Amino acid sequence: MNILEIDAGNTRIKWRLIEYKKQQKKKIHSGDALAQNLIDELPQDFCRQLLELTNKNIKKISVSNVRDVGFANALSSFCEKHFSVSVNFALVSSEHAGLTNAYQNFETLGVDRWLAMLAAWDSAKSAICIVDCGSAITIDLISAEGQHEGGYIVPGLQTMQRSLGDQTVNLTYQPESISNLEPGKNTVDAINHGVLNMVLGMLEKVDQKRRTDKAVDRSWYLCGGDAATLSKFIKWEHEVKPELVMDGLVIACVYSEDGDQVK
């Protein structure tokens, strides 16, 4: 059974086509597109990529959507028209697959965070810290018993960089790869290295519990567009899992071998 999985984020829309057979998945194709701020329509590049999949015998479409209802409605209409398949939008729950949500109003937790946690918990089955490095950086902690312990949300690297670049007089901000943490000798480097040090300081504070309390030894997973940038400077053991949110879709949207969703 071929399943199209879509991670519709604030900055980019990522997708992959997987073959799901005997509870095993194999990626066949993947892609991504800029998530433009359109009302009730989809980005053209994203539509073009999806149209190239119309002959791939897609049976199910599962989506993580943090965008607005207009995007959801447009995607549903597009998929029903071109694939004759109804879209299954993943939802947050209070408990699933051995993971318990810390939020009292569990529906208010971002679905991308929930899916990343489901995938991380399924992989580690131990205490975990999940860092999603996108337009916002989210940090979520899970106990060894599968209890979500809450998390943090701070502006992402590029969000902070753009904010300073937009507000600084006579500065045209040009994104550059960050190669070190030393004080910048020009304004762009000063911004880049400064915001990276701020985020790393936050992560080091979270990791301090592991270093001071040997009873809490967390596995660390990084995902999101800036995960590779942060990974270069994180000194403790961790894994970069670029598709962690989509990995969670398989867990949240369980299917039988005939393609029916298991309730």
Catalytic residue annotation:
112
Rounded distance between C-alpha atoms, residue 131 and residue 238, angstroms: 10
- The C-alpha angle 256, 31, 11, rounded to 5 degrees, equals 105
Query: Which amino acid would we find at residue 154?
Result: V
Rounded distance between C-alpha atoms, residue 235 and residue 66, angstroms: 31
The residue ranges of DSSP E strands in 95-135, in sequence order, are 95-96, 99-100, 128-133
* Residue showing tokens 């993971």: 99
Query: Which amino acid would we find at residue 234?
Result: I
The answer to whether 129 touches 207, Cβ cutoff 8 Å, is yes
Rounded distance between C-alpha atoms, residue 250 and residue 62, angstroms: 8
Whole-number Cα distances in Å, 156 to 105, 135, 162, 222: 25, 5, 10, 13
Neighbouring C-alpha atoms within 13 Å toward the C-beta of 148: 28
H or E segment and range at residue 87: strand 87-89
